[in-house]
Structure 1
Amino acid sequence: MVVELAEQYEVPVVAIVPSRDADHAPQIVKLLGDGGVVVSPTITEEALSAADAARARGIALVDGDDQGNIHTALRVQALNEDIRVVLRIYNQRLGGHIERLLKNCSVLSRSATAAPAFVNAALRRPNSVRVGDQAVSLEIEERPEREDFLCTIADRIDRQDLTRMRMLPDSPGPAAVWIGRTERQEVVEPGSRAVLRFVDEEPSPTFTRRSRVLWRLIDMIRYFTGVQLRLVLLGSVITVIVSFALIWALARPFAWAVYETLLDLAGSAVPDVYGQPSSAGVGGAWQRVAQVAVTLSGVPLMAVVTAILVENTASRRRAAPRQPSGGIRSHIVVIGLGNVGTRVATLIHDLGIPVVCIERDDNARGILAIQSLDIPVLTGEAPLEHHLRQARVHRSRAVLALTGDDAANLEACLEARAIAPDVRIVLRLFDDDFAAHLYRSFANAASRSVSYLAAPAFAAALMGREVLGTLSVHRHVVLVAEFVVEEGSDLVGRTLRDIDVPGEIRVIAVRSPAARDYLWRPDHGRHIGAGDRYVLLATRSGLGSHTSRVSSLRTTQC
């Protein structure tokens, strides 16, 4: 956030940190200098005064404490009623109420902003952002064939060296024609590229009714029984089935065999009398063996059924996390139920895709939210390998490691690959160098940074602009933002071509005040009028420079 404001928007920034030595404070001090950092364990009146909040243009409250952020926002607006406030709040419903309560306030959720990128990476699904009634998606093409794209977002994509990647290049094809830069076309090098396309709806996987019934049946048995009860139950049921087949095979009608088996199971068998002629009996010795087996199996079977009823009626078993089904497959394993992990698991569940969660902390707040959705959760301090095997990682389609610790996420990646070498891996990594090594070392793997995905949206909101969404190209981010041309702006009377900046900004749609729908692929010779809305793709630096131009920012603090 500090880097975004200081380098992309070029505005003076003061940061309030609990310590100069903890977390990322040393890098912040190096970037802002000693005068740009206020040290305070909590946000107090003295800390706000030291940061000169009374004269600041805006304040971003990005701590993980929702209640503390709301309290500070109220305190700041009491000091400066015109200050722009951006709050990080996990509870989006509460955030909506706070936005209506506070003046000039925007509430964002870091996890909600970043979660779709992780889900799309796990499903190898195009990233998408909705603009009005239309959705646009990013697709990475290894061997470009189709030319029905809106524009090129990135080219020269090389997983082994992502520094060669060009963002929003001037490239031939449909994009170059409609942006009016054909005279500056460049030859696109062979290889993969990222392009923008329309999507009617986001694809969602489907599963057969047979698969769903099987999962439900296995889940129900596992839910109502423990391991020991399942073993006794399985042995008894197998014995009864074999004995029933034997009785039926001894020239008995099917209905009569069922009748005798059920009576024997209940302990109501009528034994043959010693010395009675074999003709009086109907099955002989083998029937007697089968009846004895059924009767003896019925004793533990009835006890198990009674134990299940007592256990689930008198105990609090229903409050325990549900265990993953033994028959689950084509699912996604989510490791870490912090804010991001909980949000990602919820999105996957909403898509109708089976998901299994792993969380070592039994008291993690995300566990309750996941339990309410009836999603299986594995908890406790057992080795990660044990949890991964219980989660049936060898049958899964992807593993997402979403803890806040880069090293722990890498460990999860290595453990998952040791069990299932071909499984798709998505890691949450903060460090860019770490991520670069990951791409060079692992195939079928991806990484995303929550901070890198969320910071542009928070910074843009602080500067008074709304980012519609982010599109991730490996570790790079392109933002989709909408601007309104205000009366008196220096853009009035200019053309859309004047907004474009090669490598940084590209206008993809425009809408006049009288129009209901956006005009896609607009003529970039079109003149801009007051009240026009235009949607652009921009890099982080491009959005910062364009926002500065539109807002005509003065040297005020954030």
Structure 2
Amino acid sequence: MGNPGRGGAPGGDGSSASGTPGAESEHEVGPGSSESGPELESAARHPAEHYIVCGANTLAHRLVVELTEQYDVPVVAVVPSRDLDHAPQIGRLLGEAAVVVASTITEEVLHAAGVTRARGIALVDGDDQSNIHAALRVQALNEDVRVVLRIYNPRLGAHVERLLKNCSALSRSATAAPAFVNAALRRPNSVRVGSRAVSVEIGATGEREDFLCTVADRIDRQDLTRIRMLPDSPGPAAIWIGRTERQQLVEPGTRAVLRFVDEEPKPVFSPGSRLLWRLIDMVRFFTGVQLRMVLLGSVLAVIGSFVLIWVLARPFAWAVYQTLLDLAGSAVPDVYGQPGSAGVGGGWQRVAQVAITLSGVPLMAVVTAVLVENAASQRRTAPRQPSRGVRGHVVVIGLGNVGTRVATLLQSLGIPVVCVERDVSLRGILAIQALDIPVLTGEAPLEHHLRQARVHRARAVIALTGDDAANLEACLEARAIAPDVRIVLRLFDDDFAAHLYQSFTNAASRSVSYLAAPAFAAALMGREVQGTLSVHRHVVLIAEFVAEEGSELVGRTLRDIEVPGEIRVIAVRSPAARDYLWRPDHGRHIGAGDTYVLLTTRAGLGRHTGRVTRALAHPELS
């Protein structure tokens, strides 16, 4: 399984990259090379109005791709080494002259990258503290530059946004975690817009009142390259005309639509069963196997003897009273030959009393042993073990930043969670322990951990380590124990993911950097993306724009905004309205101050953002 939570398939927020092509890094990038004067000087000869990406992890790589291919803007990268992590791929994308090599982000490095002439800078490598320090240096050099930094702690990020003039602090693990949770629970990922939430449903058939638009068609799990995103398809009225025509128009399972979705109710568990398994878990936590055997035998003997006394000598309260006295060794025995010594219950009552008294001796000794053992050991600080009665839960493998976020989100939804992490020093274990989530740690074989996690009764297994091969191994082990369990993998390599869909059923894969990069790119361009929705390995974005006074869009129709295959307008709101108007008339004219919501591909978002930016910068051209 590798080192769960330490390596990198797309996804954590404060860790570093292994540098392997099939892995997404999560740990902090350390010094990989020294700064060199010639490289700094050559990198400074780039055009103005560019964007700077600091980092060489998977997110930095995806972000460079987003900016160059989707937004078509000049980019300069700052990497710790040309040879480590994803720096070679970044260098091939940008060219050697557009890469600054520096182990730390200093003022000299920022000047070499042209921060005084840049439009934006993304700090996506390193930990929270180093990213904040770099952001402060950037603002001291150019207070107008747009700063986007990756930060794990959302509360700290909110404070930083208020501290800096033009800053957005994002967490890639928090951005991607909902997609993993929804994939595991087999429910659509949703994005809230105003008072409604929208999601993508794949394989939709039949008439639905909550239909908004077609997101994709030509979906073939065996060849995901055939998917056509945001096709120029008929509207809902034309699509839902007759069963025969509908079957001819859309093959079941080959189409994805955008629809409204209600929040899934939290699962309800029986209070009695929850209390019973809590009691069993508490006994298992405080006792070893030998003590449990003695304790179980003593308790069963006491219960059986109490029932016998109750049956032979009613009332119930008197039976309880005598049982407790006998258990403590305080009962007065009958004297042979004394009148009335046969007692109320006769000979069987004496047998029961003897059994209770003898069982009380080891029972009191076990209780004393438990108290002494737990006072002298560190048992109470050990991670909580999964309950023997757990079922319908999700097994999370790897407690890096993404794994911790996913486990926390699942628990907040009321879904039972069991975590597996080999590295006992990982900080995610402490966070999970604080939430009272069971964790299996140590170097035991993965199969042993999965059996302890009751994977045969789980609803899903999510593998979130930093290595694609380790995640695949974990899911194969899970399938060997539970052939029908749903598996969700964190995979960076797109070809690897395509083969997964061809070879496995009831499986899904997600890439953290692929999910997070569009949000970081949009924030860097100054536009906030409301959320991302996935169709297998493809991503569409929900973005919100305001038609500002002077924009060329004012006076145009919504139809003028749309681009087949790239952009759909799904909602609009006038300044005086409280909520959005969904499925608006595309002949509606846009007024100054109107807010409109787009469902768009990454290329469409880049195209539209560039159009808005140019219109505001040069209103005389509109």
Give the TM-score normalised by structure 1.
0.91
May I ask how many residue pairs the two structures share in their alignment? 548
Aligned to 2:141: 79
Give 1:309 deviation, angstroms. 3.4
**1:495 and 2:537 correspond:** no
Aligned to 1:340: 402
Give 1:323 deviation, angstroms. 1.6
Aligned to 1:356: 418
Aligned to 2:109: 47
**1:208 and 2:273 correspond:** no
User: Once the two structures are aligned, what percentage of the paired residues are identical?
Assistant: 84
**1:452 and 2:514 correspond:** yes
Question: Which of residues 580, 583, 592 in structure 2 aligns to 1:521?
Answer: 583
Residues 466-523 of structure 1 show CA distances to partners (whole Å, capped at 9, x for unaligned) of 0000111111111000011122222122111111111111000111222222111111
CA distance in 1, matches of 2:589, 2:344: 99
**1:28 and 2:90 correspond:** yes
Aligned to 2:258: 196
C-alpha change, 1:203 and 1:504, in structure 2 (3 Å) is farther
CA distance in 2, matches of 1:187, 1:170: 13
Aligned to 2:467: 405
Query: Which shows bigger deviation, 268-277 or 467-476?
Result: 268-277
C-alpha change, 1:23 and 1:125, in structure 2 (3 Å) is same
Q: Map 1:8-157; keep pairs closer than 5 Å.
A: 8-141=70-203, 143-144=205-206, 146=208, 148-157=210-219
User: Conserved in 2, the CA contact under 8 Å of 1:112 and 1:340?
Assistant: yes
Question: Which of residues 381, 384, 389 in structure 2 aligns to 1:319?
Answer: 381
CA distance in 2, matches of 1:100, 1:158: 46
User: Conserved in 1, the CA contact under 8 Å of 2:75 and 2:94?
Assistant: yes
Give 1:460 deviation, angstroms. 0.4
**1:531 and 2:593 correspond:** yes
- Give the match's secondary structure for 1:506: strand
Aligned to 2:500: 438
| AA of the residue aligned to 1:24 | H
| AA of the residue aligned to 2:555 | G
Q: Map 1:367-386; keep pairs closer than 5 Å.
A: 367-386=429-448
CA distance in 2, matches of 1:126, 1:239: 53
Aligned to 2:488: 426
Give 1:188 deviation, angstroms. 3.4
User: Conserved in 1, the CA contact under 8 Å of 2:399 and 2:465?
Assistant: yes
**1:160 and 2:229 correspond:** no
C-alpha change, 1:21 and 1:201, in structure 2 (3 Å) is same
CA distance in 2, matches of 1:393, 1:82: 52
Give 1:89 deviation, angstroms. 0.6
C-alpha change, 1:363 and 1:486, in structure 2 (3 Å) is same
Give 1:143 deviation, angstroms. 4.5
Query: Which shows bigger deviation, 449-458 or 401-410?
Result: 401-410
Give 1:249 deviation, angstroms. 5.8
Aligned to 1:477: 539
CA distance in 2, matches of 1:541, 1:445: 28
**1:549 and 2:619 correspond:** no
- Give the match's secondary structure for 1:153: strand
CA distance in 2, matches of 1:534, 1:255: 73
CA distance in 1, matches of 2:507, 2:204: 15
Which segments of 5 or more consecutive residues in structure 1 lack a partner in the other structure? 179-185
- Give the match's secondary structure for 2:605: helix
**1:265 and 2:327 correspond:** yes
Give 1:304 deviation, angstroms. 1.8
**1:295 and 2:351 correspond:** no
Residues 8-33 of structure 1 show CA distances to partners (whole Å, capped at 9, x for unaligned) of 01111111112222121221111111
CA distance in 2, matches of 1:462, 1:422: 42
User: Conserved in 1, the CA contact under 8 Å of 2:149 and 2:168?
Assistant: yes
| AA of the residue aligned to 2:132 | I
Residues 392-422 of structure 1 show CA distances to partners (whole Å, capped at 9, x for unaligned) of 1111111111111111111110111111111
- Give the match's secondary structure for 1:321: coil
CA distance in 1, matches of 2:324, 2:578: 71
Query: Which shows bigger deviation, 131-140 or 39-48?
Result: 39-48
Give the TM-score normalised by structure 2.
0.82
User: Conserved in 2, the CA contact under 8 Å of 1:63 and 1:69?
Assistant: yes
User: Conserved in 2, the CA contact under 8 Å of 1:507 and 1:537?
Assistant: yes
User: Conserved in 2, the CA contact under 8 Å of 1:214 and 1:327?
Assistant: no
Query: Which shows bigger deviation, 154-163 or 472-481?
Result: 154-163
User: Conserved in 1, the CA contact under 8 Å of 2:179 and 2:510?
Assistant: yes
CA distance in 1, matches of 2:361, 2:395: 40
C-alpha change, 1:175 and 1:312, in structure 2 (3 Å) is farther
| AA of the residue aligned to 2:220 | D
C-alpha change, 1:32 and 1:144, in structure 2 (3 Å) is farther
CA distance in 2, matches of 1:196, 1:483: 19
Give 1:140 deviation, angstroms. 2.0
CA distance in 1, matches of 2:596, 2:204: 31
Give 1:235 deviation, angstroms. 2.4
User: Conserved in 2, the CA contact under 8 Å of 1:334 and 1:401?
Assistant: yes
CA distance in 2, matches of 1:443, 1:502: 32
